A and B are shown apart, each in its own frame.
Chain A
């Protein structure tokens, strides 16, 4: 099991939710995980229903069995100042650089530097050991940028290492890349059973492979329950409306004769069944496309009550039961 778990996915697929559920799932049985956010959206804080996270590792949840989830929202600017202080004792110079706009430049405009800082911080957490020589975190889970940008994000160290051919940034980038390209890391992609996210997942996997980054699993999120199967949908099509009206009436939903309450429900219900059938077919096709990717596939259910803390624990349990941990 890789110790750095990177979670990406197309916008709107719920990658932050899946990353958080995975961090919870990995923390069970007394383990300690760190959930890292790199995009400054404070999605983790919202998910765990707490105030905005500072740039500091803090305990955010307790997992079943006594495990702990810590969370960290990485601020690239503070990470850079940190880094300057840690490696160069450049505290005051760092402040001067900040005044000058150099820190802002390095973290927002300069190509790749921002990403080196973000991935660098995550890798540092992966490698960090306590005094007794044990890893401080059993797992680090990263809520990464979306699929379209994740390869560039993770591979940026390569790019920067090429750009800065010598010097401290070069060395830092090389060190980070060694972790990211090893079996220490697994990159998971979250998708929905819809055409565009599935296409993006397939493209993302190809890009990750091309960059020789380790691809982990595909997690299909928000899977809607199967209410009617193929055979039943076929039968629905062959069932006379009057019979359905009778049935609805028997269930206490009003009259079955023309214009009766039950009879007036038949058309809308059948139309919803058609829409369901159409979606069901599309989902079936997309599932087949995902199957061809040759990666372990997990499915998480759509939570009908919307996403809340209880739902997060439910998804974590689901991930454990499906052997993702």
Chain B
């Protein structure tokens, strides 16, 4: 194929213009930005993104706290927060004038602290010792989400930090953390609570009498379902918590409002994979419906290639081409005959007849610009113990690697374009894929840099 064909391919590959770019630095630098919430489905790098943003903001001068939910052990260790004590710890090794603090959420402890803060000691002890409470606080479907929001409210109220970066729990669905506080709130406010409390409040208002008949029937049904002892536990719990409910509700509402406030920015995190981006799209729609301010989409693990002018198809064709040379050479060597592989467009290599004990090196000279004075020297310095591996075979391997990369690239591009078509208004920052996991500050700093660049910067490609 000619170089002209090469050029036309280049154009074909760049016709998809990227979405609006997300500028991370202005967001981090703006003193009005007080809370950044990172959300998205599991396994897309939410925690790493939150930590990298926190570090970058701190190194740009802000006083930051990062609230992580379930960090990978080595990442937590690198930030010095691998012990669960539910309070922010200052991270060492941060450059510049800012400060980075980090903490890992302990949901049970957060729940216990609320109880202790809102009930007198005797009542608190009764609640903490209640089997139903113990089970509820250790992990009902929404506790983690609720407690994350509760902790966020606490951190914000303290006003010790000028930026809070929050990671969200690895939920069934990325939307759970928006719903859980409401759900708990509506339960605590709801009719059910009154039913459960009914036996404890016998003879309430006269007008409630009829209702109470229905309620005791309900309690009967509940008892049948839950078993008498569990129902009693629940009732005792609810009665003990009664005075706190108003507080819970108010706090849940306040946190929800905080998320809608102008100082809050949501970042939806995703990887260029179908499921992750579908979840991201749901999230974008949901945030809009809830009047919550979306700053943009962080697309992690995006692949790039500095040779993207060479398509997968052409790379594969070229690889096959080279492998055909090799087969001919090998057969020729084994048979002790040199069949000139002219049919494959390669002229006979003068060196191969004399050097048949080492790898045959076809030196093609057919292309007009291929022949040059540098090649004989190159041949001299080639390792002599290549065995069956010829340079052609290795080059074919490199081309096959490239073809794989280009296929991955176009698949990622298609997935991303589907999202962009659906939500052209969403600004996107792309972060290039790294070969390994990040578990130190230097790695986080690198991610932060890539985030701010907003384009999948190729490693070593220079400035």
Contacts and interface: CB of A to CB of B under 8 A. Distances in A.
Q: Say whether A associates with B.
A: yes
Contact of B378 (A90, A104, A246): A246
Interface in A87-123: 88, 90, 93, 96-97, 100-102, 104-106, 108-112, 114
Chain B interface residue number, banded? 35 or more
A97 B218 contact: yes
A247 B395 CA distance: 7
A242 B437 contact: no
Nearest to B233: A163
B98 interface: no
Interface string B365-400: 011111010110111011100100101101111111
A242 B399 contact: no
A88 B221 CA distance: 10
Nearest to A160: B135
B186 interface: yes
Interface in B91-121: none
Contacts of B173: 39-41
Given A196-B437, A240-B378, A306-B274, A252 B459 contact: no
A306 B363 CA distance: 39
Given A250-B366, A255-B367, A255-B370, A84 B225 contact: yes
B158 interface: no
A104 B182 CA distance: 13
B230 A164 contact: yes
Contact of A243 (B135, B382, B411): B382
B349 to A, nearest CB: 10
A262 B398 CA distance: 13
B207 interface: no
A248 interface: yes
Nearest to B131: A163
A169 B318 contact: no
A232 interface: yes
Contacts of B225: 84, 88, 106, 167-169
B201 interface: no
B224 A163 contact: no
A278 interface: yes
Contact of B230 (A88, A167, A252): A167
A97 B230 CA distance: 17
Contacts of A145: 172
A164 B226 contact: yes
Interface stretch (B241-249, B285-293, B304-312, B330-338): B304-312
Nearest to A107: B141
Nearest to A10: B43
Nearest to A246: B375
A12 interface: yes
Nearest to B363: A246
B227 interface: yes
**Which interface residue of A97, A146, A246, A270 has the most chain B CB atoms within 10 A?**
A246
B42 interface: yes
Contact of B401 (A12, A247, A257, A272): A272
Given A110-B140, A114-B141, A105 B227 contact: no
B229 A256 contact: no
A268 B378 CA distance: 19
Interface string B115-139: 0000000000000000110011011
Given A12-B276, A163-B233, A105 B187 contact: yes
Given A250-B325, A256-B372, A12 B218 contact: no
**Which interface residue of B172, B226, B375 has the most chain A CB atoms within 10 A?**
B226
Interface in A135-154: 145-146, 148, 152
B140 A109 contact: yes
Interface in A200-240: 224-225, 227-228, 231-232, 235-236, 238-240
A267 B306 contact: yes
A10 B228 CA distance: 38
Contacts of A84: 225
Contacts of A108: 141-142, 183
Interface string B313-326: 01000110110010
A197 B186 CA distance: 36
Nearest to A12: B43
Contacts of B411: 304-306
28 contacts: A11-B170, A12-B41, A93-B221, A97-B218, A101-B187, A111-B139, A166-B229, A167-B229, A169-B227, A227-B401, A232-B397, A238-B383, A239-B382, A240-B378, A243-B382, A246-B364, A246-B378, A250-B392, A251-B321, A251-B392, A252-B345, A255-B3, A255-B367, A257-B369, A262-B370, A270-B398, A271-B459, A273-B398
**Which 4 A-B residue pairings sit nearest by Cβ, starting from the closest?**
A11-B42, A167-B227, A12-B43, A250-B364
Interface of B: 1, 3, 6, 41-44, 70, 72-74, 131-132, 135-136, 138-142, 170, 172-173, 183-184, 186-187, 190-192, 195, 218, 221-222, 224-230, 233, 271, 273-276, 278, 305-307, 310, 314, 318-319, 321-322, 325, 345-346, 361-364, 366-370, 372, 374-375, 377-379, 381-383, 386, 389, 391-392, 394-402, 404-405, 407-408, 411, 414-415, 435-437, 458-460
